[in-house]
Amino acid sequence: MKATTIRFENTASRPRHALALIYDLEGFSQFFNQPDVQDYVPKFLNRVSEAMGLIISGGDEYWKEDDPGEMDPLLRPTHEKFLGDGALYLWIDGPETPLSEDFVKILCNRLWVLKANFTNVVKAAYDEIPVVDLPRRIRFGMARGTVYELATRASRQKEYIGFCINLASRLQKYCPELGFIASARIGLPKATLDANSYLRVAAKQIKGFPREIVIVDADEYERLDDVVRQQYFDPVEVA
């Protein structure tokens, strides 16, 4: 009798260019280990997923402290996957789904605002979840590069592999004091970064990605303790 396991087709798809986004909920394990967790975890995950859905599909930016507004729809992701304490979103570049500079800029800005105001999402969750220790921070990592599609033999389910997915995963864990880090590979020019208060620095301790140039919020970066900043980053020298 053959062992039952995941089996992929022998050949992966041709390489395709993609933008990978991963979020992680800080403190989710502590939340998950509380009594009667089965009654509350789905509700909280749905609340976070709803916020991500509003960022992508448009709607009320209710978590914004100052001047909340109605967000216009953005490009829908090609692939979404739940990761246990977060999720992966993948946008694959193509004629009908072009990854324009404007799309990437708006997505970055919306994610940063959600990260900065995530406590308001948590406050809204308290209306239906009577638990004190809800995850209070969300972290985002974003990268861009080549991905390959893996088709499974027994279903239509698709999986993707690629360095940008691995990099996005590592960025969301890197320097937790920041909470939003994107690889400079996402392709935003310096003028756009400057206009939106982002800064390019070199992350020097990402496993497998030595001295990766990343994008961080300039004000948050400057507020880091000097020891923390020097531990994780180097300035990018401009010739």
The reported pLDDT for the residue numbered 181 is 98
The reported pLDDT for the residue numbered 157 is 73
The reported pLDDT for the residue numbered 135 is 80
Report the Cα 209 to chain-centroid distance in Å. Answer: 18
CB 203 within 8 A of CB 166: no
CB 115 within 8 A of CB 52: no
Residue-wise pLDDT for 135-150, tens only, equals 889 999 999 999 988 8
The reported pLDDT for the residue numbered 57 is 96
Residue-wise pLDDT for 26-84, tens only, equals 876 666 666 667 777 888 888 999 999 999 999 999 999 777 789 999 999 999 999 98
Domain 16-168 of CATH type 1.10.4160.10: no
| Tokens representing residue 14 in the block | 């041709």
226: left (phi over 0), alpha (psi -120 to 50) or beta: alpha
The reported pLDDT for the residue numbered 29 is 66
The reported pLDDT for the residue numbered 223 is 95
CB 110 within 8 A of CB 142: no
> What's the mean pLDDT when you consider all of the chain?
88
Residue-wise pLDDT for 84-121, tens only, equals 889 999 999 988 888 999 999 999 999 999 999 999 99
Percent of the chain with pLDDT over 90: 61
Residue-wise pLDDT for 162-210, tens only, equals 999 999 999 999 999 999 999 999 999 999 999 999 999 999 999 888 8
Exposure b/e, 16-50, CB count within 10 A at least 16 = b:
bebbbbbbbbbebeebbeeeeeeebbeebbebbee
- Residue 239's pLDDT band, with cuts at 50, 70 and 90, is very low
Instruction: Provide the residue ranges of all domains of the chain, joining segments of one domain with +.
Output: 16-168
CB 7 within 8 A of CB 153: yes
- Other beta carbons within 10 angstroms of residue 113's beta carbon come to 19
CA distances from 90 to 74, 122, 155, 167, 231 (A): 13, 25, 20, 13, 30
